[in-house]
Amino acid sequence: MKISRRARLMRRLLGHFVQDEQVPLPQRRVAMDRAGKLPKPRRVDYAETTVGGVPAIVATPTAVEPDRHILYLHGGGYMLGSAQSHIRLGARLAKYAGAVATVIDYRLAPEHVYPAAIDDCVAAYRDLAARVDPALITIAGDSAGGGAALATMCALRDAGEPLPACAYLLSPWTDLTGSGESVTTKNAVDPMIDGELITFTAKMYAGDRPLDDPGISPLFADLNGLPPLLIQTGTDEVLLSDSERLAERASAAGVENELDLHEGMWHVYQGFVGFMPEANAALIRGARFIRAKSPAVVAS
């Protein structure tokens, strides 16, 4: 399957834009947050707030009165990213899904190691679920945010709390041990991340905990009782094995799931929504899933 001309161009350009680990972390964070200065979707209200004590940006489409809510957890290896860097992606998803999107600023490593990020995600969800029927909430996230979404749902289930209607996971990082086959076999074709650096990044987040701790690597968690999952990634993805094994383990646990693979796409290709037709189509598929699993009218 051929990829679009824009995708081919983006693949060539990515090598010039993605910064390596030699660049100081503060500079890399600033560079990633510059994504928030790109044009954001129009007919959306943007508000800075806190949710469960966690800083956040809320994107509310104005053309409709959305009932659904999306709690969006950004990627960045648990060391980079913010609500600012991902609000454009969250807002576009909100418009497609007819939902309000809350993109949170969970605490980052190495200043704050596990479980700080997951604690923040849980706190934000609890706050949202106190105001919105959980049957109208989707947890979504890309890369580390996808793994955080999975770990958050496991923590909520273990605490006996109501779970969201579904989860939309974009190129989720679920195995921080780096044991997936694709970490090696796809490293030469994924222009976004370097598989050789996964363990280093993971250790910064895990602190003194083992990398196979289920809270850190939710691929190894008990997945029983989780809501439906849409797991979406590309075939040229360093973390492809994370998604494939997650789908297998979810099915074995009786969890409804769909593995949505796009030929020739790389890590979090959905982030180029508005620039690449493949990214647009992916978010539309994600929005269709959210609409189906969290109907606007919930039976009492």
**Which residues are catalytically annotated?**
143, 237, 267
Quick one: which of 59, 29, 41, 8 has its CA closest to 274? Answer: 41
Interacting residues of 200 by C-beta distance below 8 A, sequence separation 6+: 21
Interacting residues of 141 by C-beta distance below 8 A, sequence separation 6+: 72, 73, 74, 75, 147, 148, 149, 168, 169, 170, 172
Half-sphere exposure of 29 (CA within 13 A, CB side): 13
Distances (CA, A) of 143 to 39, 89, 98: 23, 13, 23
31-55 b/e (C-beta count within 10 Å ≥ 16 → b):
ebbebbeeebbeebeeeeeebbebb
CA angle 18, 19, 20 (to 5 degrees): 120
Q: In what order do the strands lie in the sheet with 137-142?
A: 44-51, 54-61, 99-104, 68-73, 137-142, 166-170, 229-234, 257-262
- Taking every pair of C-alpha atoms in the chain, what is the biggest distance, in angstroms? 55
Could you tell me if 226 and 154 are in contact, meaning their C-beta atoms sit under 8 angstroms apart?
Answer: yes
